[in-house]
Structure 1
């Protein structure tokens, strides 16, 4: 083999090795973003018009998030927030039109106390997506269905739908080890909500605590909804189906 031929072979091999390394590095970074952001990754790809732009946006979120000086709340403050959330649930029965506003204000205060900036809903969602991308998808799904409705929806029904989705998804995340999914469909003034998880244990009605320590969630879901069913899945989990009227 001549020297020129040897140099050509070496250069081609070097280019292949570099390309392979870059490809593996890109795949590794992409896999990291997909695992960290969950459904938020594909949502950002669609919003930004491509994977490269989306990944730049998501890495920018990570960089911004890493600069936050987040702090864990002491146990007494966590208990206070838990009691406040239970209070929002209790008041929903008599005053549903204000419950989502109260809940939003509570979340904003919690974010601020933990060290998150609170610069408006869009910025809050982007900041929270770094650690809570999968949870945000559930709330966004509810917002999209209500926001893109064909039938007029009463404001109180928006609050009620948000509360039902919050309760079902929170319980699925809190009481199961595996993934959960949320499906929403709006038709003829009815909103169908389906939450699927990996646990076969159905929700239990507990005696609610008047002191604000919980027990109201499943009671409220059954009180609000027109139809509530718990069905086993083929994989050993369960699907909770809720249908509720939302058209005004």
Structure 2
């Protein structure tokens, strides 16, 4: 049974493609330890897409943020680029265009209950947080 008390974790990650795997494994451990094993598979997919975008599209450091409150799991990836993310294309459109990239946020939109982005400074660096939520209730 998940805890009722809210909690939050933040993992600072370098601009390195290996950060995606580290983030996924860390998230799995966090959710397992908090009794949220039922959310692990979808949460890992969402975190991997968000962190991959942060690492791929920026040159600076990034961070994975995970928060639980009121039966909602929020997963976010902070990066140093303050520009909004490109709007996700529908899966059918990206397939029609033969795109190899650009499906990450479409997956986030399809698999989460809510998603968005907001400008956010961290340690004095401007950037943004792209986030999504999973409702566990």
Q: 5+ unaligned residues in a row in structure 2: which ranges?
A: 1-11
More strand as a share of residues: 2
1:180 corresponds in structure 2 to: 62
- The superposition leaves residues 95-152 of structure 1 with CA deviations (integer Å, 9 ceiling, x where unpaired) of xxxxxxxxxxxxxxxxxxxxxxxxxxxxxxxxxxxx94x444312221112211235x
- Say if 1:226 and 1:236 are closer, same or farther in 2 by CA, change over 3 A: same
| Cα distance in 2 for residues equivalent to 1:219 and 1:185 | 22
More helix as a share of residues: 1
Q: Give the secondary structure class of the aligned counterpart of 2:102.
A: coil
Count of matched residue pairs:
115
Structure having the higher Rg? 1
Q: Give the secondary structure class of the aligned counterpart of 2:95.
A: coil
Q: Give the secondary structure class of the aligned counterpart of 1:208.
A: helix
| Cα distance in 2 for residues equivalent to 1:220 and 1:139 | 16
- Say if 1:136 and 1:213 are closer, same or farther in 2 by CA, change over 3 A: closer
TM-score (norm 1): 0.41
Asked whether the equivalents of residues 182 and 196 of structure 1 are also in contact (C-alpha less than 8 Å), the reply is yes
Asked whether the equivalents of residues 184 and 194 of structure 1 are also in contact (C-alpha less than 8 Å), the reply is yes
The offset of 1:196, in angstroms, is 0.6
2:40 to 158, 179, 185: 158
| Cα distance in 2 for residues equivalent to 1:224 and 1:195 | 16
TM-score (norm 2): 0.69
Q: Give the secondary structure class of the aligned counterpart of 1:203.
A: coil
2:119 to 229, 232, 235: 232
1:196 corresponds in structure 2 to: 78
Q: Could you say which structure has the greater relative contact order, defined with CA pairs below 8 angstroms and 6 or more residues apart?
A: 2
- Say if 1:212 and 1:175 are closer, same or farther in 2 by CA, change over 3 A: closer
1:208 corresponds in structure 2 to: 94
Q: Give the secondary structure class of the aligned counterpart of 1:209.
A: helix
